[in-house]
Structure 1
Amino acid sequence: MGWYERAVAWGERHRFAIDAVGTTTAALFVVPASLATVAGGSLGRSGTWELLAWSVALVAPLAWRRVQPVWSTAVVAAAALSHLLLGPPIIFPADLAVLWALYAVTAYGPVWAHRAALGLALMGAAMLGGTMSLAAGDVNAGAAMAITASITALAAWAFGLVRRSRRETLEALRDRALRLEIERDQQAQIATAAERARIAREMHDIVAHSLSVIVAQADGGRYAAQADPQAAARVLGVVSETGRAALADMRRLLGVLRSDDAPRATTDAPHPLPSGSRAPLAPMPGTVSSAVGHPAPVAPAVPAGLAPGPDDADLESLLEQARGAGMRVSLVRVGDPRRLPPGAGLTLHRVCQEALTNVRKHAGPEVSVTVVTRWGPRSVELEVADDGRGAAAEPSSGDGRAGSSGYGLLGMRERAAMFGGSVTAGPRPGGGWRVRFSMPLPEETKETA
């Protein structure tokens, strides 16, 4: 903001003070000049004090011409009409206050006020012409005076309209800039909230899935170690691989938040798994998987920020890991599979992953799980059903079971809503729990070969 803009802004904040100083300064010259002009003219019929009162009454209200334009103009008009009827018809240059008041009320007052002021000014011009005609005995002189006064009044009114239009335009621009700034801030807040929700969903899926595997393996190893001490070593191997896989996923997630393009360090995870893979899932406490001693083959290191996320094509590997951990999982495909875009494929994968995680945590031991994918012409459905405890699960359940207080179902529903889908969860009629996910197929999906 330059010096001129700052000066204008300061003037807008101190309107009355500036107008009062200007009016006082003008009165020091206008009032004595009016006294001298009227006293020396042929139309002077009033005394000095009366002329002084008329002059002050005309000039003084101009101090409020911008803060109270209606009342200021009304007082000036009343004073002008009063001295026209009761005193000298012209008090020059004090009568110029009428034009200044007309300009002010046009520029800063309401529409009705400046229209009424213009009407009063034209009426006063006609009365002035009639008074001059009677006083001078010359009709032509009176008509010329009336026309001149009317033209000057119209000119002041026109200048006021121009100033009013400019002021309204500037106010509209300022209001628009303020609304745009508020909208920008709101959009930034919405984007920030959406990004926080997305990160929270990813963190929940990664951490909850991996920690459930680690906890289940640790519990199972603790019970099995009593009969087979070697089982504890095998369990620690699975826990280590699961932690590495979770660390790789966390680095992939957090890598998108970095603003630089520097390579991500991988020294802390010398044997990461592919981003879409998972460590073997663990059986319930009291059992140890036969695959505990045979961790998955180690894949070459991939920078976490560049590794692709899992999608619907990784469902088979996800279920294979669950089977290898001792869960009885079956997969049923109905319809022709499609290749989903990365975001939609990730949503399908995460919903299935979260449903399996909840089965492992809450369904109880010896559970059979059925995963069904139904590919329709315009939608895809995923159903994960188990024959476990269902609604009798503990209150810490995160998939909507009795007393649920977790974020699993909330995250699944948020993911589904992003693609126009829905998630429902509830007990099965014959016992167990069912999670059903439905999502319309994007236009760019194609049938897989």
Structure 2
Amino acid sequence: MFGRLLDWSRRHPGVVDAFWLVPFSVVSVTNAWFAATLAGSGARSVPWPGVVTGPEAIMAFGLVTLVPLLWLRRYPAGVFAVVSLGSFVQWLAGVEPLAFNVSVLIAMYAVAARCLLRWAVAAGLVAELGLALSFGQIVTNPDFVSWASLSVFVVAIWIAGIYANTRRRYLRSLEERAVRAEHERDQQVRLAAAAERTRIARELHDVVAHNVSVIIVQADGAGYAIDSDPEQAREAMRAISDTGRQALAEMRRMVGVLRTDGVTGEDRGGGRIEEYAPQPSLSQMEDLVTQVRASGLPVEVRVTGQAPRLPEGEQLTVYRIVQEALTNTLKHGGPGSRAVVEMEYGSRELLVRVTDDGRGAAAPRSVDGHGLLGMRERAAMFGGSVEAGPYAGGGFRVTARLPFGETGRSRAA
């Protein structure tokens, strides 16, 4: 409730100023009117000789000290200077302090709360000087105790302003820090997405390069066998056709993904050559599960449905999603966790679900981890999607849906 009220007051500063300025002005004008009435009837509000208390002077000084308060929020130092100067002229004219002179303390508080420390100190000294000058008019027999008690009141207001200034600057620094942290987080996410796309492009490049190398080998074989064994040459040409279509599909998926650094090797002559070693596929899934089990995480694998022959890029995507999900379980699942890998081959899509019974939402989050982002990037390249999060009863679940490509359906086992 208090927080909402504070936010509302920040959005409507004019209403807040009017809330305290209107009652203060009414009290000040009423007090000045009574003082002016007494002065106009020949009476003196303070029985000291030589005091000038004309009604025009009282109302003029009241306007000088009250009207500038309308600009107090925008120009605190300037308003304080005008109000203090008006009160000083009032003291020179011999007009006794009235309710509107409290505006000096109000302006002093605004300076302490909104301006630099040196201006706050100057405002506090000026207010103390004004108190010392007016002290002889409001106390018949002044003594140090009375002056000190009034000074404590002035100092308390000044300290309150300094505290408000310090708190405001602290909150502003927190807001600026939060904005910077948000910008840095967004930048890290963009960099992580770019790095993940680069990694995906590199892996797909290797897959396509492997397919091209297979085409070259098959083409060479067909060239040798075309005269001696035409049937074998035709088989080689069919393999070239299938492999070429698959490589073309992988290349289309790679459009728009930039590859910034090549995976290179060194040949026997000291030159640089491209490495065409294929990336992991579904055939290495059992090896991955065995490796995870050896790390101390019990893993159960369930496969349902008839598995089609998926393109190598899509197999790589499934492999990486399962690998990342199991790695997250090893990191955050806690002791005694178990994982289940489910692969359901439907008529149109492959459903991959990795579930563990670890700590789930209670697990500490990694500040620089972008594994889930990488999963989504990989699945999106094949028109799929990834959902991840804790589920009821504890644990964490990663669900990926990958549609079968045209090549995968036409070559289903």
TM-score range, shorter chain: 0.5 to 0.7
Q: CA deviation at 1:45?
A: 2.6
Q: CA deviation at 1:249?
A: 5.0
Q: Structure 1 residues 207, 271: closer, same or farther in 2, change over 3 A?
A: closer
The aligned counterpart of 1:82 is: 89
- Report the residue type matching 1:94 in the other structure: F
Tell me how far apart the structure 2 counterparts of residues 35 and 194 of structure 1 sit (CA, whole Å).
76
User: For 1:107-126, what aligned pairs fall within 5 Å after superposition?
Assistant: 107-126=113-132
- Report the residue type matching 1:118 in the other structure: G
Q: Deviations over 1:67-101 (max 9, x none)?
A: 2211121121111111111241312x111111111
Which of 49, 54, 57 pairs up with 1:50? 57
- Report the residue type matching 2:106 in the other structure: W
Which of 295, 299, 308 pairs up with 1:268? 308
2:192 matched to 1:186?
A: no
The aligned counterpart of 2:70 is: 63
Number of aligned positions between the proteins: 268
Question: For structure 1, which segment, 222-231 or 3-12, has the greater mean C-alpha deviation from structure 2 after superposition?
Answer: 222-231
More helix by share: 2
The aligned counterpart of 1:19 is: 17
8 Å CA contact 1:16, 1:63 repeated in 2:
no
Q: Structure 1 residues 145, 307: closer, same or farther in 2, change over 3 A?
A: closer
- Report the residue type matching 2:58 in the other structure: L
Q: Structure 1 residues 97, 305: closer, same or farther in 2, change over 3 A?
A: closer
Q: Structure 1 residues 243, 265: closer, same or farther in 2, change over 3 A?
A: farther
Q: CA deviation at 1:116?
A: 0.8
Q: CA deviation at 1:130?
A: 4.4
RMSD across aligned C-alpha pairs, in angstroms? 4.1
The aligned counterpart of 1:167 is: 168
Q: CA deviation at 1:53?
A: 2.0
The aligned counterpart of 1:34 is: 32
Q: Deviations over 1:244-289 (max 9, x none)?
A: 9989958659x99xxxx985976222999xx99xxxxxxxxxxxxx
User: For 1:388-427, what aligned pairs fall within 5 Å after superposition?
Assistant: none
8 Å CA contact 2:29, 2:62 repeated in 1:
yes
**Structure 2: gaps spanning 5 or more residues:** 39-44, 251-277, 289-300, 324-413
8 Å CA contact 1:129, 1:145 repeated in 2:
no
Q: CA deviation at 1:230?
A: 2.2
Q: Structure 1 residues 269, 87: closer, same or farther in 2, change over 3 A?
A: same
Q: In structure 2, the residue corresponding to 1:121 is in which secondary structure?
A: helix
Q: CA deviation at 1:123?
A: 1.3
The aligned counterpart of 1:9 is: 7
Q: Structure 1 residues 32, 223: closer, same or farther in 2, change over 3 A?
A: farther
The aligned counterpart of 2:79 is: 72
8 Å CA contact 1:121, 1:150 repeated in 2:
no
- Report the residue type matching 1:49 in the other structure: E
Tell me how far apart the structure 1 counterparts of residues 311 and 115 of structure 2 sit (CA, whole Å).
78
Return the TM-score normalized by structure 1. Answer: 0.50
Which of 105, 111, 115 pairs up with 2:111? 105
Q: In structure 2, the residue corresponding to 1:269 is in which secondary structure?
A: coil
Tell me how far apart the structure 2 counterparts of residues 57 and 228 of structure 1 sit (CA, whole Å).
112
8 Å CA contact 2:64, 2:86 repeated in 1:
yes
- Report the residue type matching 1:18 in the other structure: V
Q: Structure 1 residues 219, 75: closer, same or farther in 2, change over 3 A?
A: farther
Tell me how far apart the structure 2 counterparts of residues 101 and 94 of structure 1 sit (CA, whole Å).
12
8 Å CA contact 2:36, 2:54 repeated in 1:
no
8 Å CA contact 2:128, 2:154 repeated in 1:
yes
Q: Percent identity?
A: 31
Q: CA deviation at 1:206?
A: 0.9
Q: CA deviation at 1:198?
A: 0.9
Q: Structure 1 residues 22, 268: closer, same or farther in 2, change over 3 A?
A: same
8 Å CA contact 2:69, 2:79 repeated in 1:
yes
8 Å CA contact 2:36, 2:55 repeated in 1:
no
Q: Deviations over 1:366-394 (max 9, x none)?
A: xxxxxxxxxxxxxxxxxxxxxxxxxxxxx
Q: Deviations over 1:183-218 (max 9, x none)?
A: 222222222221111111111111122134325634
Q: CA deviation at 1:178?
A: 2.0
Q: CA deviation at 1:29?
A: 2.6
8 Å CA contact 1:35, 1:52 repeated in 2:
yes
Q: Structure 1 residues 17, 230: closer, same or farther in 2, change over 3 A?
A: same
- Report the residue type matching 2:90 in the other structure: H
The aligned counterpart of 1:370 is: none
Tell me how far apart the structure 1 counterparts of residues 17 and 103 of structure 2 sit (CA, whole Å).
13
User: For 1:257-406, what aligned pairs fall within 5 Å after superposition?
Assistant: 267-269=307-309, 304=319
The structure whose Rg is larger is 1
2:165 matched to 1:157?
A: no
